[in-house]
C-alpha cells in the first residue's frame, strides 16, 4: 500500500512511498536490537555530544525542515520554524541535564549500602501524530536516546517526509546505526511491531481509538506504555482577569496550529459579569484572523491537515447546530482548493449534544456563561478528558481553588498552556497516562533498579549468628499475595 504525502493547502500529491513489508519490519527490529546491546554501554558524555550535534543541525537547517513540515501538514511557516527550534532546545536540555536525571539515588536503610539506578529498557516504539510532526517525535526521541534506549518511529501516514528527515538527522548527528529508525508502515502493522518480544515498550500520541487499541495490546503483553490522547481544554475567565490579555490569548490558543493542538483551548468558560464583553470582542477577533497560504509569513491560520479532518469538524458543528447551538461567526468549510475551515464560535451547545464532549480539532470555539468560580470549575471538569487548563484571575483564593480542584495534568494561570522540556507533560482520564518531558518523562522508559549491598559485618541470610525468628503458625498468616 502507498503512503502518500499530500499538500493540504492545495490537495497536490507531493510524494508517495510503499509501506514496508513484514520482512523489512523484522529486519529493522533486528537492527534495533543489535544496536541497543552496544548503545546501552556508550558513555553518557558521548550521547550528549551527539545530541548537541543534532541540535546544531536542526538550528542550521531550520528553514528547510520547516518547509517540509508546512508542505506536509499545513501549519503556518513561522510556527514550523518555531517547532524546529523547540526541538533543538529540547535536545540541548537533555544533553545538559541527563547526568543529573540518571544519577543513582542513594537511600539510607541502615547499615547496608543501597541505591536506585536507572537502566534503559531497550527498544521503544513511538506511534506519533501529524499535528506537530517534529516536536512530538523529539520530545520522545531526546530523552529516550540520552537514557540509552533505542527508538522505532511509526509516524502518521500523511507526514512520511518528516519521518524520513528525522531519521536522517539522527544519523547525521553521529548516533550509531539502528539507534533510531523510521518505519513506513500502515496502522494495522503496529500490532506486529509491538508483538515482537524484542520491543520493550510503546509511547502513543494520537486519537483515543488508537490509544485504546495499542494500550490494550501492550497490557496483554505486559509492556510499558505511555498515552497522550488529546483533550478538550477549558479556558476560564473570571472578573478580575486582565481582559485584554485574556481575549488576545484566547484567540491565539484556539487557533494555534490551525486549531489542531491537544492543548489548545476549546471550551471558554466566562464569568457572567464580563461575559457579554468577552463574547463580542472574542468573536470580532476571531473574524480578523488571517487565513491563507501557510507558506506566507503573515498567515495565522492555514488548512487542516487532511480532508477527513474537515469533514469531521463540519459534522461536529452541524450536530451542535441541530441540537440548538448558535453560530456567532464562521461555521463553514471554505470553498476552493485546500482543507480550509472558517474560524468559528459556537454558543448554547447543550450538554446532551455529542459535540459538547468531543475534542474539536480545528479553529472552532465553544463559549459558556458561568455564574461563579464553582460553576466554572464544575463545567471545566465536565469532560471525559483531563489534559490541561488555562485560568485567568488575579484573586489568590481563586487561583488556589483552580490549582486544587481542576481535574487535569496541567494548570496555567494567566497564561496559555504550552509544553516545556523542563516540565512534565501529560493528562488524566481519557487524555491518557504517564508523562513526557522533564525527568518524569525520561524515567517512564527506565528500570528503577534497587541495589542493596551488605556492609562488612552485617548479617546475611546464611549467617548462623543472626537472631532466629520463629516461623508463624499457618493459621496466623495472611493468605493474600504480598510484595
Q: Is 211 in the same domain as 254?
A: no
Split into its structural domains, the chain has a count of 2
Tell the burial category of 187 from Cβ atoms under 10 Å away from its Cβ (0-12, 13-18, 19+).
middle
Distance CA 475, CA 136 (A): 56
Tell the burial category of 221 from Cβ atoms under 10 Å away from its Cβ (0-12, 13-18, 19+).
middle
CB distance 365 to 278 below 8 Å: no
Q: Is 250 in the same domain as 337?
A: yes
Asked if residue 474 has pLDDT above 60, the reply is no
pLDDT digits (tens, 9 = 90+) for 412-442: 999 999 999 999 999 999 999 999 999 999 9
Question: For residue 428, is it within any domain?
Answer: no
Distance CA 333, CA 310 (A): 7
Lowest mean pLDDT among 76-90, 171-185, 467-481: 467-481
**What range does the domain containing 128 cover?**
2-229
Q: What is the pLDDT of residue 1?
A: 66
Active site residue 87: no
Q: Is 163 in the same domain as 248?
A: no
**What does the block give as the cell for 178?**
539502528
Query: Predicted confidence band at 481 (pLDDT cuts at 50, 70, 90)?
Result: very low
Q: Is 252 in the same domain as 134?
A: no
pLDDT digits (tens, 9 = 90+) for 181-234: 999 999 999 999 999 999 999 999 999 999 999 999 999 999 999 999 999 999
Q: How many CB atoms lie within 10 A of CB 464?
A: 6
Name the active-site residue from 162, 262, 353, 408.
262
CB distance 317 to 294 below 8 Å: no
CB distance 14 to 6 below 8 Å: yes
Q: Is 359 in the same domain as 330?
A: yes
Active site residue 444: no
CB distance 280 to 329 below 8 Å: no
Asked if residue 483 has pLDDT above 70, the reply is no
* Residue 345: its H or E element: strand 344-347
Task: Report the CATH number that the domain containing residue 363 is assigned in CATH.
Answer: 3.40.309.10
pLDDT digits (tens, 9 = 90+) for 96-138: 999 999 999 999 998 889 999 999 999 999 999 999 999 999 9
Question: For residue 443, is it within any domain?
Answer: no
Question: For residue 346, is it within any domain?
Answer: yes
Helical pair 44-60 and 135-147, crossing angle rounded to 10 deg: 160
Q: Is 207 in the same domain as 306?
A: no
Distance CA 229, CA 210 (A): 9
Average pLDDT, the chain: 94
Positive or negative: CA dihedral 373, 379, 384, 389? negative
- Which has the closest alpha carbon to 13: 72, 75, 77? 72
Distance CA 179, CA 169 (A): 12
pLDDT digits (tens, 9 = 90+) for 142-159: 999 999 999 999 999 999
Q: Is 68 in the same domain as 217?
A: yes
Question: For residue 193, is it within any domain?
Answer: yes
Domain final position from 229, 251, 270: 229
Question: For residue 441, is it within any domain?
Answer: no
Q: Is 269 in the same domain as 130?
A: no
Asked if residue 478 has pLDDT above 80, the reply is no
Q: Is 206 in the same domain as 341?
A: no
Q: Higher pLDDT residue, 61 or 460?
A: 61
Q: What is the pLDDT of residue 455?
A: 80
Domain final position from 420, 443, 475: 420
**What does the block give as the cell for 7?**
499538500
- Which has the closest alpha carbon to 307: 77, 12, 3? 12
Lowest mean pLDDT among 296-310, 341-355, 375-389, 446-460: 446-460
* Residue 411: its H or E element: strand 410-413
Name the active-site residue from 167, 228, 342, 359.
228
Distance CA 419, CA 412 (A): 11
Q: Is 210 in the same domain as 261?
A: no
- Which has the closest alpha carbon to 46: 105, 119, 99, 104? 99
Question: For residue 180, is it within any domain?
Answer: yes
Q: What is the mean pLDDT of residues 33-41?
A: 97
Q: What is the mean pLDDT of residues 307-327?
A: 98
Task: Report the CATH number that the domain containing residue 179 is assigned in CATH.
Answer: 3.40.605.10
Q: Is 316 in the same domain as 187?
A: no
CB distance 419 to 425 below 8 Å: yes
Q: Is 274 in the same domain as 416?
A: yes
Domain final position from 207, 229, 251: 229
Q: What is the pLDDT of residue 458?
A: 55
Question: For residue 479, is it within any domain?
Answer: no
Question: For residue 454, is it within any domain?
Answer: no
Q: What is the pLDDT of residue 456?
A: 72
- Which has the closest alpha carbon to 223: 208, 205, 204, 210? 204
Distance CA 105, CA 114 (A): 9
Amino acid at each position: 500500500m502507498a503512503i502518500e504525502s499530500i499538500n493540504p493547502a492545495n490537495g497536490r500529491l507531493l510524494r508517495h512511498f510503499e509501506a514496508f513489508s513484514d520482512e523489512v519490519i523484522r529486519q529493522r527490529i533486528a537492527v534495533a536490537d543489535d544496536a541497543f546491546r552496544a548503545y546501552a554501554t556508550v558513555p553518557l558524555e558521548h550521547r550528549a555530544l551527539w545530541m548537541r550535534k543534532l541540535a546544531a543541525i536542526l538550528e542550521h537547517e531550520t528553514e528547510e525542515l520547516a518547509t517540509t513540515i508546512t508542505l506536509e501538514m499545513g501549519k503556518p511557516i513561522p510556527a514550523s520554524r518555531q517547532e524546529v527550534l523547540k526541538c533543538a532546545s529540547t535536545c540541548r536540555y537533555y544533553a545538559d541535564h541527563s547526568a543529573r536525571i540518571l544519577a543513582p539515588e542513594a537511600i539510607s536503610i541502615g547499615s547496608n549500602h543501597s541505591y536506585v539506578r536507572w537502566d534503559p529498557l531497550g527498544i521503544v516504539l513511538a506511534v506519533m501524530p501529524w499535528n506537530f510532526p517534529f516536536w512530538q517525535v523529539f520530545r520522545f526521541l531526546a530523552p529516550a536516546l540520552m537514557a540509552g534506549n533505542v527508538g522505532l518511529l511509526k509516524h502518521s501516514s500523511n507526514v512520511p517526509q518528516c519521518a524520513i528527515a528525522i531519521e536522517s538527522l539522527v544519523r547525521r548527528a553521529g548516533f550509531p546505526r539502528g539507534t533510531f529508525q523510521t518505519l513506513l508502515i500502515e496502522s494495522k502493522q503496529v500490532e506486529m511491531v509491538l508483538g515482537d518480544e524484542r520491543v520493550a515498550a510503546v509511547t502513543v500520541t494520537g486519537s483515543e481509538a488508537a490509544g485504546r487499541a495499542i494500550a490494550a495490546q501492550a497490557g496483554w503483553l505486559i509492556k510499558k506504555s505511555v498515552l497522550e490522547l488529546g483533550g478538550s481544554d477549558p479556558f476560564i475567565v473570571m472578573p478580575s482577569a486582565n481582559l485584554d490579555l485574556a481575549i488576545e490569548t484566547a484567540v491565539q490558543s484556539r487557533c494555534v496550529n490551525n486549531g489542531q493542538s491537544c492543548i489548545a483551548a476549546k471550551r471558554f468558560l466566562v464569568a457572567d459579569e464580563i461575559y457579554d464583553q468577552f463574547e463580542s470582542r472574542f468573536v470580532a477577533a476571531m473574524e480578523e484572523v488571517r487565513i491563507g497560504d501557510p507558506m506566507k509569513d503573515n498567515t495565522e491560520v492555514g488548512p487542516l491537515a487532511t480532508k477527513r479532518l474537515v469533514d469531521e469538524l463540519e459534522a461536529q458543528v452541524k450536530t451542535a447546530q441541530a441540537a440548538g447551538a448558535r453560530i456567532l461567526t464562521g461555521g463553514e468549510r471554505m470553498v476552493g482548493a485546500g482543507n480550509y475551515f472558517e474560524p468559528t464560535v459556537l454558543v448554547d451547545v447543550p450538554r446532551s449534544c455529542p459535540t459538547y464532549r468531543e475534542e474539536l480539532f480545528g479553529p472552532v470555539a465553544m463559549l459558556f456563561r458561568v455564574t461563579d468560580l464553582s460553576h466554572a470549575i464544575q463545567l471545566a471538569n465536565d469532560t471525559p478528558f483531563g489534559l490541561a487548563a488555562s485560568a485567568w484571575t488575579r484573586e489568590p483564593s481563586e487561583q488556589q481553588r483552580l490549582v486544587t480542584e481542576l481535574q487535569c495534568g496541567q494548570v496555567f494561570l494567566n497564561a496559555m498552556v504550552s509544553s516545556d522540556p523542563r516540565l512534565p507533560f501529560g493528562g488524566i482520564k481519557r487524555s491518557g497516562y504517564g508523562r513526557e518531558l522533564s525527568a518524569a518523562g525520561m524515567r517512564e522508559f527506565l528500570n528503577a533498579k534497587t541495589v542493596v549491598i551488605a556492609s562488612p559485618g552485617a548479617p546475611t541470610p546464611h549467617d548462623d549468628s543472626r537472631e532466629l525468628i520463629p516461623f508463624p503458625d499457618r493459621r496466623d498468616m495472611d493468605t493474600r499475595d504480598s510484595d
